[in-house]
Amino acid sequence: MSDATVPHALELQDISVTFRSTEEPGQRYTAVAGATLEVAAGEFVSVVGPTGCGKSTLLNVGAGLLQPSSGQVRVFGEPLAGINRRAGYMFQSDALMPWRSAIDNVMVGLQYRGVPDADARAQAQAWLERVGLGGFEDRYPHQLSGGMRKRTALAQTLALDPDIILMDEPFS
């Protein structure tokens, strides 16, 4: 297959996202207008810009968490309908469940995918060790520093072995 026929891992074609004001439904705010982004498999891309320019909005569109007002999203050449199941997403703030320990937070996605608990626990332990959190697996989010919570969220994302990793200021 030549490079011209290999589909991009993620394509955002002429994406626009407009929000309605909750206070005044007739008022609209355009967060992104006419954005196009093509990311090849194996490529590392950073979207840089000032606060409020639409970076998070584009990531949410690529993750399938937000439908664009116009434009097309493709994942490995296929139109995206709903959640992008080939992507892992690290949000700006960690999305750890406070009632679950670090290892239980890393395990949860694997459990939702049907991985048996013993295998999920072993994989979660291995990922916690890879991100430098061996020995902290039984700590709850409130017992971890901000950086440790971010690394737990990173292990949680990587444990699912996604084809695409979307990170919204994950280490800010």
Quote the pLDDT of residue 93. Answer: 82
Is the separation of the CB atoms in 163 and 76 below 8 Å?
yes
Quote the pLDDT of residue 40. Answer: 95
Quote the pLDDT of residue 55. Answer: 92
CA-to-CA dists, residue 33 to 12, 17, 48, 53, angstroms = 12, 7, 16, 10
Gyration radius from the chain CA atoms: 18
Is the separation of the CB atoms in 168 and 59 below 8 Å?
yes
Q: What is the pTM of this model?
A: 0.85
Nearest-angstrom CA–CA distance, 62 and 164: 10
Quote the pLDDT of residue 33. Answer: 94
Phi, psi angle pair for 39, to nearest 5°: -120, 120
Residue type, 99: W
Per-residue pLDDT for the chain (172 aa), expressed as one digit of tens each?
445 678 999 999 999 999 988 888 788 989 999 999 999 999 999 999 998 899 999 999 999 999 999 999 999 999 999 999 999 999 888 789 999 999 999 999 999 999 999 999 999 999 999 999 999 999 999 999 999 999 999 999 999 999 999 998 877 6
